[in-house]
């Protein structure tokens, strides 16, 4: 069944490959790289984790400093709840680009999932320092402070997240937290 799903997910990848070869002005290496990313994504969507990881690691052999590959590998593991395996890839992203705000944010989300709230706070402080209106980071910071019992700081960051939200709505509670959903109900706060 997974192989059939994989073939289904490969259809757009093959179309993209054809389009890249015929209509786009790309080098063969760029076309190859796009194809390998598409193939890894198809394996991921078909829930063939080992094959997807193998594809990404194959790309890393040619591009050992590829931030998109590190982010993709970390995301594979994070989505499947293998947070400990995701952490080293997010850390590599941050070493390659210390201002990569998504790398910092998702590393903090990993720490948060593991209950390492102080580590998450330290990581989020770095994100917020160079991107003070990143509402998801502000909201997660509020979550962390709430978990360690510092409600004033939590409220401060929740309010900052609300003011940074262009739509005026921010979700509070359970954004990343599937395992704690029963413990906390989702609330909508509107300003």
Return the pLDDT at 184: 40
Q: What is the pTM of this model?
A: 0.80
As given in the structure block, the two tokens for residue 8 are 């289904």
Please give the structure tokens belonging to residue 21: 């070869």
140 part of a folded domain: no
Beta-carbon contacts of 27 under 8 Å, excluding residues fewer than 6 positions away, are none
Strand partners, 169: 190
Pull the structure tokens for residue 28: 């063969």
Q: Which domain holds residue 44?
A: 1-64
- Rounded CA separation 40/52 (Å): 5
Q: What pLDDT score was predicted for residue 17? A: 86
Which of 34, 42, 41 is CA-nearest to residue 17? 34
How far from 166 is each of 102, 110, 119, 159, 170, CA to CA, in Å? 19, 26, 28, 13, 9
Task: Report which of 45, 131, 60 is spatially closest to residue 93, judged by C-alpha positions.
Answer: 60
Instruction: Tell whether 43 is covered by a domain.
Output: yes
45 falls within a domain: yes
Give the count of beta carbons closer than 10 Å to the beta carbon of residue 178. 9
Tokens of 148: 């360690």
Total domains, the chain: 1
Residue 130 domain flag: no
Q: Could you identify the residue written with the tokens 């063969």?
A: 28
Task: Please list the rounded mean pLDDT of every run of 10 residues in the chain (191 residues).
Answer: 84 87 88 91 93 95 95 96 98 97 97 98 95 94 96 95 76 48 40 36
Residue 85 token pair: 């395996």
Nearest to 76 by CA among 110, 27, 118: 110
Backbone angles phi, psi at 188, to 5 degrees: -110, 130
* Residue 169 domain flag: no
114, part of any domain = no
User: Has residue 44 been placed in a domain?
Assistant: yes
pLDDT of residue 20: 85
Domain membership of residue 60 (yes or no) is: yes
């Amino acid at each position: 069944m997974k192989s059939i799903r994989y073939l289904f997910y490969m259809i757009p990848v093959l179309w993209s490959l054809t389009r890249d070869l015929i209509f786009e002005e790309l080098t063969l290496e760029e076309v190859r790289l796009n194809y390998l990313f598409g193939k890894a994504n198809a394996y991921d969507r078909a829930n063939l984790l080992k094959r997807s990881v193998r594809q990404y690691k194959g790309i890393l052999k040619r591009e050992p400093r590829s931030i998109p590959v590190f982010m993709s590998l970390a995301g594979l593991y994070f989505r499947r709840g293998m947070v400990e395996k995701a952490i080293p890839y997010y850390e590599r992203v941050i070493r390659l680009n210390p201002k990569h705000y998504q790398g910092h944010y998702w590393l903090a989300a990993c720490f948060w999932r593991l209950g390492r709230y102080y580590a998450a706070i330290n990581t989020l402080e770095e994100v917020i320092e160079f991107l003070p209106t990143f509402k998801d980071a502000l909201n997660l910071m509020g979550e962390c402070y709430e978990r360690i019992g510092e409600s004033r700081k939590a409220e401060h960051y929740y309010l900052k997240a609300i003011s940074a939200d262009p739509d005026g709505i921010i979700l509070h509670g359970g954004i990343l937290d599937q395992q704690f959903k029963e413990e906390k109900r989702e609330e909508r706060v509107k300003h």
